[in-house]
Amino acid sequence: MAVLLSSFLFAFTHSLNMLSGQSVANTIFQILFAFVIGLVLALLIVNGQSIGVTIVFHGLNNFLQFTSPVKANDSLLINYALLLFLSGYAFYLWNRKSTLSVSYNQVSG
């Protein structure tokens, strides 16, 4: 529940970009993208990664987004491919989390 709630809140904060004049379509995509990124970041922590890994992951993502020579509207294929990849990675981490908790319960029980 904490993973989903923190991901939702992370996505919601990105909706404020609409106040700066960003289009509704770009804002909706950014909210969806932020939700998936939030899932990945939270699941990295749940899977035992250091918070440093999530900081580097988030920083690298922002760096690549801000320094990309391709405008957001011109790179829909890249954005959707990245969203698909990250969704798959989040799914993998979610399933790994479930496997880890089962293994932990079997060892401690």
In contact, 44 and 54? CB cutoff 8 Å:
yes
Residue 71's pLDDT is: 60
CB atoms within 10 A of CB 28: 12
pLDDT at 24 over 70: yes
Per the model's pLDDT, the better-predicted residue between 69 and 82 turns out to be: 82
